[in-house]
Amino acid sequence: MFQDAELFSRFTGWLFTHRQIRTRIPKGERFKDGEKELSIEIRQITDKERAFLMDYFAFNGFKLIVFGWDEFKGIPEGGQIWTIVRDPLAGDPPPWISEAEARARLSIGPETKKETCIWTLVIYLHYLSYTYTLIGRHPSEISRYVDAIFTKEQLFEAIKEWLNELAKENFQKTEIMTILTSESETQLYRRVSNLLDFLKETNCIAFSKEDNAYSQTLLGAAEVNEHYDGEIAYLVPKDEITESDLESILFEEQDNTPEN
């Protein structure tokens, strides 16, 4: 058990906020403020303290997972990444942020919950296509996170092309079609940017200024793997994403509660 309450508080507080601590970082990257100090202290943690931490996070609905450089590419030699991911078997693990905060980050102004949900799902589906489907990768292949590289422009153009095809095939306007075909390219680009910023802030993806490209992180890959079977199996894109797919995903269970 931890004898240093202050260290325990800083360590757990950091993981609840940032979700990962890197003991070493790749060349060209920088530690976050405060991360380097924790990365030094984390190397001194005993097996008993580590077991205590695992129990502590499990009690709070999370799994503590430690990835080593000898198991996964992308981690500098001798390095580790300590992460926590929501445990799908924990019953009802707490969300990373509140629903209100998520909507504020992902919406582009006053709009209904349904609109934000539809657009977030559409963009996320296409994000998954670049990190899994298009490179022939299964969600269980965590180590292939290093292959999941894409640009914002690629994602934006793919969604724009999909929307154009969807509009051609659906002459009869429905509520979903109206939502998906009423956006300007500028609005769509803002939505794509919002979701990528959100995934980056939660350390699911990283951005390389040198390559002007995004890549999935080990944490992001681990979280998809943990939740794939129980929560997001339906999010992995098929060869084609149709309006009926969206309807079955989004509105399988209807209720009469207000949307706003």
Model-level pTM? 0.79
> pLDDT confidence of 34, banded at 50, 70, 90?
confident
How far apart are alpha carbons 111 and 253 in whole angstroms? 21
The pLDDT, as a whole number, for residue 17 is 85
The pLDDT, as a whole number, for residue 254 is 41
> pLDDT confidence of 216, banded at 50, 70, 90?
very high
The pLDDT, as a whole number, for residue 64 is 92
Pick 115 or 256 by higher pLDDT: 115
Least confident stretch, 47-56, 87-96, 213-222? 87-96
How far apart are alpha carbons 167 and 180 in whole angstroms? 9
Counting residues of the chain whose pLDDT is more than 70, the rounded percentage is 80
Backbone angles phi, psi at 66, to 5 degrees: -115, 120
The pLDDT, as a whole number, for residue 96 is 59
The pLDDT, as a whole number, for residue 111 is 80
User: What is the DSSP track for 159-211?
Assistant: HHHHHHHHHHH--S--HHHHHHHS--HHHHHHHHHHHHHHHHHTTSEEEETTT
How far apart are alpha carbons 156 and 216 in whole angstroms? 17
23 closest CA partner among 87, 66, 64: 66
How far apart are alpha carbons 147 and 33 in whole angstroms? 28
In a 10 Å sphere around its CB, with 0-12 CB exposed, 13-18 middle and 19+ buried, how is residue 171 labelled? Answer: exposed
233 pLDDT higher than 70: no
The pLDDT, as a whole number, for residue 160 is 92
Mean pLDDT of the 200-228 span: 88
Sheet strands (E) in the chain: 20-22, 62-68, 80-86, 149-150, 205-208, 213-216
pLDDT tens string 103-130? 777 778 788 878 888 888 889 889 998 9
Instruction: Give ∠ CA 167-195-108 in degrees, rounded to 5.
Output: 70
Non-local CB neighbours of 17 within 8 Å, separated by 6+ positions:
none
> pLDDT confidence of 47, banded at 50, 70, 90?
confident
At residue 253, the 3 state secondary structure works out as: coil
Q: Measured between alpha carbons, how far is residue 201 from residues 75, 121, 206 in Å?
A: 20, 18, 9
